[in-house]
Amino acid sequence: MADGAGGKLTTHVLDTATGKPAAGMKIALYRVSGTSHEKIRDAVTNADGRCDAPLLQGKDFQTGTYELVFFAGDYLRAGNAGLPDPLFLDQVPIRFGMAEQKHYHVPLLVSPFGYSTYRGS
């Protein structure tokens, strides 16, 4: 594992049902090693659906396996009173690897009944 001179991790969330940024969504970041999950930090998306600062950067950035958990259910419940209980989507985990000292951007596109992600720029 390299210590982070140039790497950083960012995310953003778009609500594809409304066509708007998903403001106020809680996100948890974990470092994964085998069966171990170490919580690194919590964040909440701003009005633009982004975190105010990178989730990891500088000396905090290390290569390895990570998991972002997006608390989509809390966000969806807050804005959509007509959704079923239980929701189809609640917590959305995305596990991914960072192998280089580069910018990793892991966005989430979410609606009440589906989501997608990709490695952004």
CB 93 within 8 A of CB 68: yes
Residue 79, pLDDT score: 83
- pLDDT at residue 5, rounded to an integer: 60
**Per-residue pLDDT tens digits of the chain, which is 121 residues long:** 444 468 999 999 999 999 999 999 999 999 999 999 999 999 999 999 999 999 999 999 999 999 999 999 999 999 877 899 999 999 999 999 999 999 999 999 999 999 999 999 8
Q: What angle do CA 71, 107, 49 make, to 5 degrees?
A: 65
pTM beyond 0.85? yes
**pLDDT computed for residue 3 by the predictor:** 46
By CB atoms closer than 10 A (0-12, 13-18, 19+), residue 17 is middle
pLDDT at 4: 43
Domains of the chain: 8-109 (2.60.40.180)
Q: Are 31 and 69 in contact (CB under 8 A)?
A: no
Q: What Rg value do the Cα atoms of the chain yield, rounded?
A: 15
Q: What is the mean pLDDT of the chain?
A: 93
pLDDT for 2 equals 46
